[in-house]
Amino acid sequence: MTADGTPKSLSDITRDMGLNMSDVAAFSGLDESTIFRLWDNVEWLDRISGRSLQSLMSSVPGIAEYAMAHAVRKRRDGLIGDLHAEGLTVDLHTLENSAVAQQHLLNALEAALHIVRGQATQKTSSFIARFWGREQDRALESIYSTEPGRGLLRDPGKLFDASIDLAPRLNRRSYSFHSILALNILTHQVSKVTGRLEADLGFEVPGRQSAFMMRGVVMGSLISSDDFDLAERYRRELGATPVYAALEEWSFPTYTRDGRISSDFTLPSSLSLHNTATEVLREIAVYNDAYLYYLVSTYIPLALKRDPAFGGKVRELIQALELRAADCRDRTTRQTCNTLVRRLKGVA
């Protein structure tokens, strides 16, 4: 069996184990006539029933691994071909060597196909909305990344343009929970790479959708531009606009799966932010100073109101902030970090 899922017959898979048709039939409990029909056919996986496949997987070493690898490769090759037809070339080396699960990456490539085809449908909104979550986001990030060795597409420029074109059309076609999430996800990914702000996206939408889109754009822009003024404007906006604050509080816990993704954008009154704390600690360590200022001035104080124990990680939070503040260039950010640390030490 090859690890990459290259088509192989049953006889190819079992040959090195010294198993013949009768052996496979005996171990699996299947009729020898069934094994005979599949034995030399490299397309046997398309012809076997689910129950028979389960019998083979549980009795013959290598069948389960081959079935999974073959299914992944078949879907991968189909997506690569479809994307190539749309003018997008997949970096196969990056795809095969990514630390992100292949299934997540293939889902991201399928999302790219929906986007570049400009399919402004409810199905597209629903599919893109499924990328609200840490692992899914890592996969989607890879199709927009321009970083060599990280980006799945050799030149994602066409995807950027298609995303900006698609987002407002998704909103016009279907004002729904999924369209709100999809719009946020698209604008976040584009702004994270390009640094474009809301005004540059060329469209406006009302209510929660506008607020959530703004958050996606701001977060992406902060990550890409290290813009302290933007972080401060966002902090002031949350203080003046309750819907922005509510969406900000909802975002991290649902993204990390501490809380259930709810269409009314509410959280339970009692909620431990364990996964959120882990993600925030990671972000403190890896993101720029402007994003750090957003965390210490805006999100972390909001999170502590929801969960004063911060998922049981208050001590880790203190240590992370002290370490990061020592190297922070911006005076206001350092002072904000130190003020938060003093507050945390009072409850730790």
Q: 82 falls in which pLDDT band (50, 70, 90)?
A: very high
pLDDT at residue 208, rounded to an integer: 66
Name the DSSP class of 298.
I
Q: 18 falls in which pLDDT band (50, 70, 90)?
A: very high
Q: Which of 126, 136, 125, 130 is nearest to 168 (CA)?
A: 125
Mean pLDDT lowest among 27-41, 96-110, 178-192, 293-307: 178-192
pLDDT at residue 201, rounded to an integer: 41
Q: 196 falls in which pLDDT band (50, 70, 90)?
A: low
Which SS3 state, helix, strand or coil, does residue 18 take? coil
* Top-confidence residue, 251 or 243: 251
Mean pLDDT lowest among 33-37, 78-82, 119-123, 247-251: 119-123
Q: What is the mean pLDDT of residues 103-132?
A: 94
Residue type, 155: D
pLDDT at residue 217, rounded to an integer: 86
Q: What is the pLDDT of residues 45-63, one digit of tens each?
A: 999 999 999 999 999 999 9
Q: Count CB neighbours of 182 within 10 A.
A: 29
Mean pLDDT lowest among 180-189, 226-235, 302-311, 330-339: 180-189
Hey, what long-range contacts does 266-269 have (CB within 8 A, 24 or more apart)? 267/306
pLDDT exceeds 60 at position 203: no
pLDDT at residue 326, rounded to an integer: 92
Q: What is the pLDDT of residues 128-156, one digit of tens each?
A: 999 999 999 999 999 999 998 899 999 99
Residues near 83 by beta carbon (within 8 Å), at least 6 away in sequence: 89, 90, 109, 112, 113, 116, 153
Q: Which of 133, 126, 134, 82 is nearest to 106 (CA)?
A: 82
pLDDT at residue 156, rounded to an integer: 95
